[in-house]
Structure 1
Amino acid sequence: MKLTRLVGECEDGECPTIYATDRGTLAIQGGKVTNHGLTLPPHETLAEIPIELVRKAVRDNLI
């Protein structure tokens, strides 16, 4: 899978970031959410990112 960085909180790659994939989807890098009370399939996880990151991506017409 090829990832293209759309928007992030820093430039060093270790911060919340939204990527576009070459499959027409988004990949989200953020803090792993562990105490959510949901039952997730083994191949899925939840990532938490600041809402402002999504707002910036929309405002800048990135997604």
Structure 2
Amino acid sequence: MRMRFLGSTSEAGACPTLYETDRGTIVVQGLQVTDAEALADLRDVLDGETAVEVPRELITEIARRVLSDDPATAFQPGEPSPSATG
């Protein structure tokens, strides 16, 4: 799988950050939710899954760009892409 940086609301490339994959999915990089009460609210968590907190404004801004149907914003195979770095 390859990923392309979409955006972040953090300074200096820190978390939280969103990436688009060449599989048509979005990868979320951010701080893991560790609050026991919040984790108890999750449903059907499979082995290997975790919860990550992301600001609403990051999701909406990236959704506007990705869903704009602008080919310039879509993932291009072979395009250089950073890997996720907590």
Task: Give the shorter-chain TM-score range.
Answer: 0.7 to 0.9
**Higher radius of gyration, 1 or 2:** 2
Length, aligned pairs only: 62
Percentage of pairs with the same residue: 40
Q: 1:49 aligns with which of 49, 54, 58?
A: 54
SS at match of 2:57: helix
What is the rounded CA distance, in whole Å, between the counterparts of 1:44 and 1:25 in structure 2? 15
Q: Greater helix percent: which structure?
A: 2
Whether 1:22 and 2:22 are equivalent positions in the alignment is yes
Q: Deviations over 1:9-63 (max 9, x none)?
A: 246432201100111100001111122103522211111100010121123x224
Stretches of structure 2 that go unaligned for 5 or more consecutive residues are 68-86
The alignment yields a C-alpha RMSD, in angstroms, of 1.8
> Which residue number in structure 2 is paired with residue 62 of structure 1?
66
- Moved >4 Å (runs of 4+): none
More relative contact order, 1 or 2 (CA 8 Å, 6+ apart):
2
